[in-house]
Amino acid sequence: MDKTDFTRYLTVYRHYSDKKVKSVELKLSAKNMEKGEIHVTDLQLQEGAEVTGQVPATSDMMVNEKFTIDEFHNAVGFGYENIYQGEQPEVFKDMKNRFFNVMGRGFETITIPNVYHEDYRKEILTTGLDLTLYPKNDYDFLRVSSFYGGFVDENITYQNENLANNDLNKRYTREFCFRGGKLGDEIKISASGYYATVNGNKVDFGIQHFDVGQESDYDGVYTVQYENRQRFLALPIGATRVKIEFMKRKQEGDLIYMVDGGIGFYGIAEFTQWTWGASKL
């Protein structure tokens, strides 16, 4: 069926302006048909009396890029050590998911390449990052962020002048934070699935406040809050730096603040790769 055979219908439904719409029930019917087929492809509901236009489907704008892993590229000749330890090399075709092992200790910055490894010149689009982490020690606060950012001059976390260079006085463009947890926690941040969990329990989105210590002034002792708008991480084309900071509390009298506790961790970084689809062409 040619796309010109389709007809686009636009209808405006009005209701009492002093009432809210709780739900919409839509029924489709056809009359006076003798033969043939009816195909309903897209339904779009939007507020307002004016049509703002058609938004192409994701499948029209982007195409999932597949790749091949050829282990024979690492094969070695006679007389050299068998790097496969007895297992024969394989060729894995039509792979969709890219993943990299992640490990570190203390505050670490990892680099994740979003390039088409078979041909780096191929145009690849920005994609969301799915990150799974497992800490090797208990922790009091976790921040995962893109590396883009810097120290802020206002609304800093710690007012104490001795903590001016503390890492929590530095903010990044995209950050996702977690409250304290235990050794072996499964921490997931999934941009593709739009969820974050700790041991399967969902973590709240939006603006969140985290207890990251305490300070004192002439009015007494008060709790220090770290305010963060939870944002998932995105990988543009090229290499992206991701900073992982498992923190521990440190106390000096009435002063309590977060520091690098040297906590070890491991995990997996996963993502898919996309290129332009039909709408680009």
Per-residue pLDDT 10s for the chain (281 aa) are 555 667 777 777 777 677 777 888 888 888 888 888 887 877 777 776 666 666 566 666 788 899 998 877 766 555 555 666 677 788 899 999 999 999 999 999 999 999 998 888 888 999 999 999 999 999 999 999 998 777 776 779 999 999 999 999 999 989 999 999 999 999 999 999 999 999 999 999 999 999 999 999 999 999 999 999 999 999 999 999 999 999 999 999 999 999 999 999 999 999 999 988 765 54
What pLDDT sits at residue 278?
64
Apex CA 262: angle with CA 259 and CA 266, to 5°? 120
CB within 8 A of 166, min separation 6: which ones?
157, 158, 257, 258, 259
- Walk across the sheet containing 187-190 and list its strands: 97-105, 264-272, 130-135, 187-190, 195-198, 201-202
Q: Tokens representing 85?
A: 């330890």
pLDDT of residue 85: 67
Strands 91-95 and 220-229: unpaired
Q: Are 167 and 175 in contact (CB under 8 A)?
A: no
pTM of the predicted model as reported, rounded to 2 decimal places: 0.75
Q: Which residues contact 50 (CB under 8 A, 6 or more apart)?
A: none
How many whole angstroms separate alpha carbon 247 and alpha carbon 76? 44
Dist. CA 59–CA 181, nearest whole Å:
39
The sign of the dihedral angle between the CA atoms of 215, 219, 223, 229 is negative
- Domains, the chain, in order of start with CATH, read 64-276 (2.60.120.860)
Q: How far apart are CA 142 and CA 209, in angstroms?
A: 13
Structure tokens at 68: 């091949």
How far apart (Å, rounded) are the C-alpha atoms in residues 198 and 39?
Answer: 43
Specify the pLDDT at position 9: 75
